[in-house]
């Protein structure tokens, strides 16, 4: 109890009340479920970035012959119905079908990939895809940048990077919140090692499919081995670019080299050229994409 004989300074009760209010306010901010948030919370949210939507309602695909299902159904022809990204075939269960259901995929998925495309062609495809305003854009490109007439004709790593950066800038200018799934470039040397056992496939290769890797398929000299290793090194560098550039975009997910690391066997290769994915191979690509897109955490 306060001593009645002790003088009370004017304003002391007000000061005590203010201190008590400040203390209670700080406690409320720190309490679980509190409605307020301090600078630390704001920083944490900014560091975390936007939440990845694991169930987008529309999908647009861009890329090259793999996404077009080239040589998966008939020789030297596209077969988009078995595309890993947007195909309708029950043999594949494409990413779009897995995410949207068969009916949803029919009306809300689009394939803008073009057989033979290289990274330089990607910005134009992105522009066409963005017109549909998809929630998810899938990207698989780079094989044709390495599959050239010679190793000296391969797209440089610097140009590959510039093309991919331009592609993402193009997308962001039109669709700031669209999500992007980026598949790694397949291991072309593994495809060569699997396909070269088939005589028919090697005859098709002579028509000009990926000559930097596939020409003179049975040549195992030091020069041929160096050529193939040079292509492989370039593909690995391309994948490094895809990973690095994608990591700088908070709404982009790279597959963590899952496509590159996948051990394609003869069952997963086209019976027409023994290089492009068969319907079974397309299904494996769809599995990888679905696993990456629906994962709670991004692949590292």
pLDDT digits 0-9 by tens, 1-17: 444 444 444 444 433 44
- pLDDT for res 50: 54
pLDDT for the residue numbered 200: 86
The pLDDT, as a whole number, for residue 7 is: 42
Of 31-45, 204-218, 281-295, give the lowest mean pLDDT range.
31-45
With 60 as the cut, is the pLDDT of residue 155 above it? yes
Q: Which of 5-14, 112-121, 264-273 has the lowest mean pLDDT?
A: 5-14
Crossing angle of the two packed helices 157-174 and 122-130, in degrees rounded to 10: 10
Instruction: Give CA–CA dist 161/223, Å, rounded.
Output: 28
- For residue 269, what pLDDT band results from cuts at 50, 70 and 90? very high
- Report pLDDT for 51: 73
Q: Tell which phi-psi region holds residue 297, choosing left (phi > 0), alpha (psi between -120 and 50) or beta.
A: beta
The pLDDT value given to residue 299: 77
Determine the pLDDT at residue 110. 98
The SS3 call for residue 269 is strand
Residue 40: Cβ within 10 Å count: 8
Q: DSSP letters of 154-215?
A: SPPHHHHHHHHHHHHHHHHHH-TT-EEEEPPPP-HHHHHHHHTT-HHHHHHHTTTSSHHHHT
What is residue 298's predicted lDDT score, i.e. its pLDDT? 86
- Could you give the percent of the chain with pLDDT greater than 70? 83
Q: What is the mean pLDDT of residues 136-150?
A: 98
Structure tokens at 80: 């988009």
State the average pLDDT over residues 143-155: 98
H runs (alpha helix) in 31-116:
39-48, 95-108
pLDDT of residue 201: 84
May I ask the CATH architecture of the domain 55-294? 3-Layer(aba) Sandwich (3.40)
Report whether 231 contacts 151 (CB < 8 A). Answer: yes
pTM metric for this prediction: 0.82
Residue 24 has pLDDT above 60, yes or no: no
> Residue 263 pLDDT more than 70?
yes
Report whether 171 contacts 180 (CB < 8 A): yes
Give the model confidence (pLDDT) of 159-218 as tens digits.
999 999 999 999 999 999 999 999 999 999 999 999 998 898 888 899 889 999 999 999
Residues 6+ apart with CB under 8 A from 27: none
62-92, pLDDT tens digit by residue?
Answer: 999 999 999 999 988 999 999 999 999 999 9
Indicate the average pLDDT of the chain. 86
- Separation CA 69–CA 97 (nearest Å): 16
Q: Judging by beta carbons within 10 Å of its beta carbon (0-12, 13-18, 19+), is residue 124 exposed, middle or buried?
A: middle
């Amino acid at each position: 109890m306060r001593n009645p004989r002790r003088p009370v300074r004017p304003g002391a009760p007000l000061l005590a009340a203010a201190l008590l209010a400040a203390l209670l306010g700080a406690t409320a901010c720190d309490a679980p479920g509190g409605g307020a948030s301090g600078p630390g919370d704001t920083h944490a949210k900014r560091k975390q970035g936007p939440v990845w939507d694991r169930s987008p309602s529309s999908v647009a695909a861009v890329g090259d012959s793999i996404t077009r299902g080239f040589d998966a159904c008939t020789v030297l022809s596209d077969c988009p119905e078995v595309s890993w990204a947007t195909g309708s075939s029950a043999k594949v269960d494409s990413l779009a079908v897995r995410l949207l259901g068969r009916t949803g995929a029919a009306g809300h998925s689009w394939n803008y990939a073009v057989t033979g495309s290289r990274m330089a062609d990607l910005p134009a495809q992105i522009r066409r895809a963005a017109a549909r305003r998809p929630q998810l854009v899938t990207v698989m490109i780079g094989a044709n940048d390495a599959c050239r007439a010679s190793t000296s004709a391969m797209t440089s790593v610097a140009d590959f990077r510039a093309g991919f950066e331009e592609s993402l800038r193009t997308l962001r200018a039109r669709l700031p919140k669209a999500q992007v799934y980026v598949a790694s470039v397949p291991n072309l040397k593994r495809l060569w090692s699997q396909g070269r056992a088939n005589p028919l496939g090697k005859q098709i290769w002579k028509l000009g499919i990926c000559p930097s890797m596939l020409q003179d398929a049975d040549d195992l000299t030091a020069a041929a081995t160096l050529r193939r290793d040079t292509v492989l090194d370039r593909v690995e560098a391309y994948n490094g670019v895809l990973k690095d550039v994608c990591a700088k975009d908070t709404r982009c997910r790279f597959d963590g080299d899952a496509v590159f690391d996948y051990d394609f066997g003869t069952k997963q290769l086209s019976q027409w050229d023994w290089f492009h994915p068969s319907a079974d191979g397309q299904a494996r690509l769809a599995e990888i994409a679905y696993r990456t897109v629906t994962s709670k955490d991004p692949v590292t």
